[in-house]
Amino acid sequence: MSGRLVEELTRRAALAMREVFEVDADPEVRPTNDPRFGDYQINGVLPLARRIGGNPRQLATRLLEGLDLGDMCLPPEIAGPGFINLRLDPFWVAREAGRVASDPRANISPVQAPQCVVVDFSSPNVAKRMHVGHLRSTIIGDALVRTLRFLGHRVVGDNHVGDWGTQFGILLWAWERHADQAALDADPIGELERLYKLGSEAAKADPQVADACRAELAALQAGDPERLALWKRFVAISRADAEAIYARLGVSFDTWHGESFYHERLAGVVERLCERGLARESEGAIAVFFDEDGDLGGTPLLVQKSDGAYLYATSDVATAEYRIETYAPDRIVYVVDVRQSLHFKQLFATLEALGYDQVRFEHVGFGMMLGADGRPFRTRDGGTVTLAALLEEAEERILPIVAEKWPDASEDEQRDIARRVGYGAVKYADLSQNLTTDYRFDWDKFLAAEGNTGPYLQYALVRIRSVLREYEVRVGRPFVADGAPLRLEADQERELATELLKLGDALDSAARLSRPHIVCEYLFGVARRFSPFYAACPILGAPDEGLRDSRVALAVATARTLEIGLDCLNIPLLDRM
Ligand code: ARG
């Protein structure tokens, strides 16, 4: 077993279909909605009947004769017009759950056919401090990278920073007029922000300044050495600021190719698009038009302005080509605000027209993070909230609770716990949302110890870890799971154990569909099933040693499941809280 139940059941059912009916068909194995009908069902017999003819119930009966699930399931039942209900065999569940306890990967093997996936995430436009608008791409992209990687895929996580755009024209203009070397040394990012603000206000008020900023940008992009040297400094300053945030979040990248990295390819991109008849001139500019495709909107994809400047889209075509040449990826995933969806639709259509149809391009668009009042997330005086401030607030809100609960811990330790809980809560809140809709940032809800929150899941794990410490004290040695089948006597034990076998499926769908909230929901389900087990089945006080060890192993398997899941989401773990 690969540790992916749906995959295994699908494999076996498809095999039976081939043997009995000599067809390749999707058996459509799904978890049941109602536990009275078992754990899974095979829904593919009805579509099969439509395809090959015949009475679906009779086909289902014949399929059962060829279906070998004896080790995994109780005898299957045919229901309704031709569904097949499957119930996992409790002995099989007991054996598999025992293996989850003893295996560091919870018995989930790496995928047999690993894919190469490029994940483009975080990707802020640099020159200013990172703000809350950069949170979602960073957190969601990181979770996808980690989940894909755990499953055995080859992943390239790329931070496609905007380091070549208009903001640098503005900065250069402002630097030439208002540079303050001492301020730049004392508070580099603060000084860049001051300059940027000066420059953009001036450009807004005066079209001549705006022109001068554009000229600065053009000179930079044309390779003027003095401007390039300044640009390098600016980029290094904002990179240092961003790195500090990534370090706090525990996020890292494999590559950090900004837009500037592709700059030499841009002329070639426009040329190729024109040669292939995909782009043409219009009012001095060059653009890809999608006249026939009403879906892509009447707006063309601009790749070169009339003044010769290249655009976001030009750089995205060049980036995709570089990635395809360099990594030969199966998928390229862009984790970017849903408001850019037209850009990505047009980009993907352009790339397909260029012949890159062996790659699955995917825009994982997410909604906005709003304030608790449903309005854009702002500081009290209407400014943007920096990510650093958001993370500090998370820590400060938790710290007094930790200090009260663990007065003997050193301040460092108290802070460490507060950060893990606070950052974990922020991340989990973001990841557990429905991806595409906006969500309201609500501290009380996200920090709550109950409900589908980061702290609730962290606490479930803390509780198990403390049982294990207690075991060690009482028995005199640490518990080591030996992989033996568990003794599942109570309903609560069986339900928990069954749930633990679904981690592989949850990770798999989250990675396939680019939906980390599937993992959140799954982990919440696990934690919710742990509580009744913990309440109903004394672990260390079990009536005999065999049952005690089985229950400890079940707790270990639960801990393992939570650890792997939370680690894929990059939620910090704790020993106490
Ligand atoms: N820098 C862009 C922004 O802040 C996001 C870049 C996303 N990645 C991409 N390949 N377009 O809007």
- Look at phi and psi of residue 514 and say left if phi exceeds 0, alpha if psi is from -120 to 50, else beta: left
Residues 97/497, Cβ–Cβ less than 8 Å: yes
**What is the spatial distance between Cα 512 and Cα 503, in angstroms, rounded to a whole number?**
14
Token couple for 11: 């494999």
Spatial CA neighbour of 63 closest among 50, 45, 49, 89: 45
b/e burial code for range 298-326 (CB count within 10 A of at least 16 → b) = eebbbbbeeeebbbbbbbbbbbbbebbee
- 556 CA from centroid of ligand 1 (Å): 42
Give 347-373 as a DSSP string. Answer: HHHHHHHTT--SSEEEEEEE--EE-TT
Helix (H) or strand (E) holding 286: strand 285-288
The pLDDT of residue 305 = 92
The pLDDT of residue 484 = 97
**What is the spatial distance between Cα 241 and Cα 254, in angstroms, rounded to a whole number?**
18
- 571 CA from centroid of ligand 1 (Å): 25
Query: Class assignment of domain 116-159+256-364?
Result: alpha beta
Q: CB-hemisphere CA count at 13 Å for 240? A: 10
CA distances (Å), 482 to each of 191, 332, 549, 554, in order? 59, 41, 10, 12
List every span in the chain annotated with CATH 3.40.50.620: 116-159+256-364
Specify the DSSP class assigned to residue 523.
Answer: H
Q: Is 336 in the pocket of ligand 1 (CB under 6 A)?
A: yes
Dihedral sign from CA coordinates of 71, 77, 82, 88: negative
- 341 CA from centroid of ligand 1 (Å): 11
Residues 398/449, Cβ–Cβ less than 8 Å: no
**What is the spatial distance between Cα 498 and Cα 92, in angstroms, rounded to a whole number?**
10
- 334 CA from centroid of ligand 1 (Å): 8
Q: Is 125 in the pocket of ligand 1 (CB under 6 A)?
A: yes
List every span in the chain annotated with CATH 3.30.1360.70: 5-88
- Look at phi and psi of residue 297 and say left if phi exceeds 0, alpha if psi is from -120 to 50, else beta: left
- Beta bridge mates, 361: 332
Residues 430/441, Cβ–Cβ less than 8 Å: no
Token couple for 151: 């499953």
Q: Please name the fold of domain 5-88.
A: Gyrase A; domain 2 (3.30.1360)
Give the count of beta carbons closer than 10 Å to the beta carbon of residue 407.
Answer: 8
Q: Is 316 in the pocket of ligand 1 (CB under 6 A)?
A: yes
Which residues, 6 or more positions from 324, have their beta carbon under 8 angstroms from its beta carbon?
Answer: 356, 359
Q: Whose CA is nearest to atom 6 of ligand 1?
A: 123
Q: Is 160 in the pocket of ligand 1 (CB under 6 A)?
A: yes
Residues 94/104, Cβ–Cβ less than 8 Å: no
Residues 347/311, Cβ–Cβ less than 8 Å: no
What amino acid occupies position 351?
L
Spatial CA neighbour of 138 closest among 160, 154, 153, 121: 121
C-alpha angle 309-310-314 in degrees, rounded to nearest 5: 170
Burial class (CB in 10 A: 0-12, 13-18, 19+), 563: middle
* Residue of 135, 160, 311, 321 to test ligand 1 pocket, by largest number of atoms within 8 Å of CB: 160
**What is the spatial distance between Cα 338 and Cα 344, in angstroms, rounded to a whole number?**
10
- 361 CA from centroid of ligand 1 (Å): 15
What amino acid occupies position 498?
T
What amino acid occupies position 283?
E
What amino acid occupies position 460?
A
Residues 483/550, Cβ–Cβ less than 8 Å: no
- Beta bridge mates, 335: 364
Specify the DSSP class assigned to residue 439.
Answer: E
**What is the spatial distance between Cα 201 and Cα 219, in angstroms, rounded to a whole number?**
21
In the block, tokens 């939370």 appear at 566
Token couple for 456: 């609730």
Say whether 402 sits in a helix, a strand or coil.
Answer: helix
Q: What is the dihedral of CA 100, 433, 243, 192, to 10 degrees?
A: 180
CA distances (Å), 326 to each of 303, 323, 331, 443, in order? 23, 5, 13, 43
Pinpoint the alpha helices (H) of 406-516.
Answer: 411-431, 443-447, 454-475, 491-500, 503-513
Rounded to an integer, what is the distance from CA 408 to the centroid of its chain? 37
Give the count of beta carbons closer than 10 Å to the beta carbon of residue 366.
Answer: 24
Which residues, given as ranges, of the chain have pLDDT below 50? none
Residues 23/52, Cβ–Cβ less than 8 Å: yes
**What is the spatial distance between Cα 332 and Cα 156, in angstroms, rounded to a whole number?**
9
* Residue of 123, 164, 359, 387 to test ligand 1 pocket, by largest number of atoms within 8 Å of CB: 123
